[in-house]
Chains A and B, each alone.
Chain A
Amino acid sequence: MHGLQLEAVSNAVLAPLDLSLAPGEALAILGPSGAGKSTLLKIIAGLLPHRGRVIFAGRDLTGVPPHARRIGYMSQDLHLFPHLSVAANLRLPLLFSGLSRREQTARIHRTLDLCAIAHRAGRRPATLSGGERQRAALARTLAMRPRLILLDEPFATLDGATKRGLWHELDRLRRGLGMSALIVTHDPEEAAALADRQVHLNHGQLNAAAIGTLRQARRPQPAAGSAYYLCNLHTNYAEPQNGAPNVLNDERR
């Protein structure tokens, strides 16, 4: 069981809220600016103090520091380490993963390929385009193979065509890796493209009436002409069928 449960989680911004996320499920959190969406993600990531309990994979994370939670978090500003190349951005956290040097290198290559950013492996973040930076940050988050990823307005700064291409890729990657996701956005179209379910957060309170299920059919396809590199995902990292483990799930440590 790798689900997420929030029990009466609150702080100065958030009213006590309960929320649960099933393993492999993606939930979009919508709401206006200042509603507490980012605060909620930071609480789950362990970056902000709070009341209540955050339980992940059956483990109460109260008092567990962020580096020991094994929850992937990608902020809107990405925060790629500017002094390191893209590949080294992936390498740095893997140094503390317990993987051997060879395993780290294999993981870096594979993840960069998956995120279609391998051709920029030696570049510093400042030399990348906006879309490439998003891919690099996503690759860095996914390289740790977390069971849960928290995405805070991941594509807010991108233009429409690039954004739509990345939505599709992210959705396939997430499913291919069997990860749960919490995605903060204020774009209903993005929520529909990335999430199975959505909730609305307003003034620090969850709006239960707005909880709904998003139909697969509403997911937009990548815009014509946008980069679409995930043929590898189809061939090598196909989604698990009927709960069968896939290649990337087996990689986890």
Chain B
Amino acid sequence: MPGLALLVWVPLVAVVATILGALGALIAELPPASLIEALAAPETRFAVGLSLRASLTALGLALLLGVPTAWLIARRRFRGKALVETVLDLPMVTPPLVAGIGLMLLLGHEAPAGRALSGLGVEILFSPAGVILAQTYIATSVIVRAARAAFGAVDRGYGDSAATLGVPPFWRFLLVEIPIAGRALMAAAVLGWARALGEFGATLMVAGATRLHTETLPMAVYLNMASGRIDIAIACALVLLALAFALLLALRLLSAEKPDPLHDEDPHARIAA
């Protein structure tokens, strides 16, 4: 038994100590006054603003693309499905840097897609739109994977019941399947947003690292570490950590069991909305 205790406790202590150590080192690096000053710096505020705007836009796009895709994969059989599923999982396992190179070449002026977009006056490469594209690309694959599991866990009988009750397919998806999978889909959205916020490699390739233009929080950390502005880099890193902590907490709350609704339901409640 002491052998087992040693085997399981020592790694746990080592992992937790490393995480807390890295976190503590970041926090302790700057005196509070310098940290506040760095947090208030225009560059930090720009990075926070761009990161939030871009990642929320990317999240919206990823949900629009990912949720119907996940439903289709979870609910329908079609020829080549295994291949399609593998392709959808590819962004999860390829380094974001590689995905970024691919997107950059796809949208470059030499490529048909890039030329077509240029013809329409749309410039994605090395612009904030590129940040959104890179984040959407990464977040979508996370959301597809998580939402696929969410829909897979919903008994098909709910949709069948709704069908025999006269509810058309689109409304079954919207009013029955999505709400029933709701908490798991929310968790998928939180994961996707977290991934978009922290996205670096693909963004670097597609949008570049231009100060006060395509400078997201991870990009600000990279640029300011490279140029010796440790205070801004640490401030941005701490903002990222705080956001990640909040998202993880949200995820944990979403995954928690609901309290017994018997205790908060009014038996004489309204006859439906």
Verify B162–A91 contact, CB threshold 8 A. Answer: no
Contact of B271 among A67, A70, A122, A140 (CB under 8 A): A122
**How distant is the Cα of A97 from the Cα of B171 in the complex, in angstroms?**
13
- Cβ < 8 Å to B, chain A residues 106-122: 108-109, 119-122
Number of A residues contacting the other chain (C-beta, 8 Å)?
Answer: 44
**How distant is the Cα of A187 from the Cα of B218 in the complex, in angstroms?**
66
**How distant is the Cα of A91 from the Cα of B179 in the complex, in angstroms?**
16
Verify A108–B272 contact, CB threshold 8 A. Answer: yes
Verify B155–A79 contact, CB threshold 8 A. Answer: yes
Q: Does B93 contact A (CB under 8 A)?
A: no
Q: Which residues of A contact B157 (CB under 8 A)?
A: 75, 77, 79
Q: Which residues of A contact B (CB under 8 A)?
A: 42, 45-47, 65-73, 75, 77, 79, 81-85, 87-88, 90-93, 95-97, 105, 108-109, 119-124, 126-127, 140-141, 144
Q: How far is the CB of A3 from chain B (nearest CB, A)?
A: 19
**How distant is the Cα of A77 from the Cα of B164 in the complex, in angstroms?**
14
Verify B162–A92 contact, CB threshold 8 A. Answer: yes
- Cβ < 8 Å to A, chain B residues 157-186: 157-158, 160-169, 171-172, 175-176, 179-180, 182
Chain B interface size, as a band, is 20 to 34
**How distant is the Cα of A71 from the Cα of B166 in the complex, in angstroms?**
9
Contact of B166 among A42, A84, A108, A144 (CB under 8 A): A144
Verify A66–B164 contact, CB threshold 8 A. Answer: yes
Q: Which residues of A contact B162 (CB under 8 A)?
A: 67, 81, 92-93
Verify B166–A46 contact, CB threshold 8 A. Answer: no
Q: Does B265 contact A (CB under 8 A)?
A: yes
Q: Which residues of B contact A105 (CB under 8 A)?
A: 271
Verify A82–B180 contact, CB threshold 8 A. Answer: yes
Verify B271–A124 contact, CB threshold 8 A. Answer: no
Q: How far is the CB of A127 from chain B (nearest CB, A)?
A: 5
**How distant is the Cα of A72 from the Cα of B158 in the complex, in angstroms?**
14
Q: Which residues of A contact B163 (CB under 8 A)?
A: 46-47, 65-67
Contact of A81 among B168, B180, B266, B268 (CB under 8 A): B180
Instruction: Name the CB-closest residue of B to A45.
Output: B164
Q: Which residues of B contact A97 (CB under 8 A)?
A: 166
Q: Which of B175, B180, B272 has the most CB of A within 10 A?
A: B272
**How distant is the Cα of A179 from the Cα of B268 in the complex, in angstroms?**
31
Can you list 18 A-B contacts with CB-CB less than 8 angstroms, sorted by A residue number?
A47-B160, A67-B162, A67-B165, A67-B168, A70-B166, A73-B164, A77-B157, A81-B180, A83-B179, A84-B272, A88-B272, A92-B175, A93-B166, A93-B167, A121-B269, A122-B266, A122-B267, A122-B269
Q: Which residues of A contact B168 (CB under 8 A)?
A: 67, 96
**How distant is the Cα of A119 from the Cα of B266 in the complex, in angstroms?**
11
Q: Does B262 contact A (CB under 8 A)?
A: yes
Q: How far is the CB of A192 from chain B (nearest CB, A)?
A: 26
Q: How far is the CB of A88 from chain B (nearest CB, A)?
A: 4
Instruction: Name the CB-closest residue of B to A75.
Output: B157
Contact of B261 among A75, A88, A92, A127 (CB under 8 A): A127
